[in-house]
């Protein structure tokens, strides 16, 4: 499969809400309600929305806003947030890189892709570059094993990587 077009679910950068959701997000949540017989079932979709609203991660303020919107205990929301890999509890770079390092990618050089990121960005895994531009992590299988090694940048798949290709991709991230 070829490199994907950028998708629209990308974090849109840090935003301030004074503790709550934007009007647009509230409308989005409202539109989801008829889909489920319980309010609790909205939790995963609403956390995705919240994470987008709060610049790619879920500070306590976001967790509280989700709990209030869905009338759920904060502890319950927190428990769900900590269970899933795609919800982040600390700030991330403007661009978030996930490198698949599972077996199929390991057999095709993913460790060298991780090395390249470390060298090029000068920070360790799960840290943010000083300019706030990028953070990167290794990740479990992303379902692109035939085009290994691969990584996701935000929601975009980059496949058949080489260290040079990774350098080019990093240069293109603003």
Partner 1 sequence: MAFERVLTRNVGKPEALTLKGYKQLGGYEGLAKALKMEPDAITEEVKKSGLRGRGGAGFSAGLKWSFIPKGKDKPKYLVCNADESEPGTFKDRLLMEFDPHQLIEGCAICCYAVQASTTYIYIRGEYTRAAEILEAAIKEAYDGGILGDSVMGSGFKLNMYVHRGAGAYICGEETGMLESLEGKRGQPRVKPPFPAVVGAFGAPTVINNVETLCNVPHILVRGADWFKGIGTDERNTGPKLYAISGHVERPGTYEYPIGVTFRDLVDGCGGMLKGRPLKAFIPGGASAPLLTQEHYDIKMDFDTVAKAGSMLGSAAVIVMDDTTCMVRSVARLAKFFNHESCGQCTPCREGTNWMELMLKRIEHGEGTERDGQVLLSICSHIGGNSLCALGDAAIGPVKSLVERFPEEIDRHIKERACPFPHRRYFENGA
Residues at the site binding partner 1, with contacts judged by CB under 8 A: 1, 4-5, 7-9, 35-38, 40-45, 47-48, 79-80, 83-87, 98, 101-104, 106-109, 112, 116, 140-149, 152, 155, 157, 162-164, 167
Pairwise CA distance, residues 174 & 95, whole Å? 8
Q: In the 8-state DSSP scheme, what is residue 145?
A: G
Pairwise CA distance, residues 152 & 137, whole Å? 10
Shortest gap between Cβ of 101 and partner 1 (angstroms)?
7
Which residue number, 18 or 39, has a Cβ lying nearer to partner 1? 39
Which residue number, 16 or 141, has a Cβ lying nearer to partner 1? 141
Pairwise CA distance, residues 1 & 132, whole Å? 31
Which residue number, 130 or 170, has a Cβ lying nearer to partner 1? 170
Q: φ, ψ for residue 51 (rounded to 5)?
A: -65, -35
Q: 24: which 2 tokens?
A: 């647009």
Q: 161: which 2 tokens?
A: 């990587």
Shortest gap between Cβ of 171 and partner 1 (angstroms)?
14
Which residue number, 128 or 150, has a Cβ lying nearer to partner 1? 150
């Amino acid at each position: 499969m070829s490199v994907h077009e950028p998708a629209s679910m990308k974090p849109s950068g840090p935003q301030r809400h004074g503790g709550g959701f934007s009007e647009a997000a509230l409308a989005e949540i409202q539109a989801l309600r008829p889909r489920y017989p319980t309010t609790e079932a909205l939790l995963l979709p609403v956390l995705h929305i919240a994470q987008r609203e709060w610049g790619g991660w879920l500070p306590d303020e976001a967790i509280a806003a989700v709990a209030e919107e869905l009338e759920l205990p904060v502890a319950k929301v927190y428990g769900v947030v900590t269970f899933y890999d795609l919800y982040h509890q600390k700030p991330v770079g403007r661009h978030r890189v996930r490198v698949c390092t599972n077996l199929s990618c390991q057999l095709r050089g993913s460790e060298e892709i991780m090395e390249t990121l470390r060298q090029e960005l000068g920070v360790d895994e799960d840290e943010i570059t000083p300019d706030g531009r990028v953070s990167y992590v290794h990740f479990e299988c992303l379902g692109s094993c035939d085009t290994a090694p691969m990584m996701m940048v935000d929601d975009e798949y980059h496949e058949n990587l080489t260290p040079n290709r990774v350098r080019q991709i990093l240069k293109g991230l603003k």
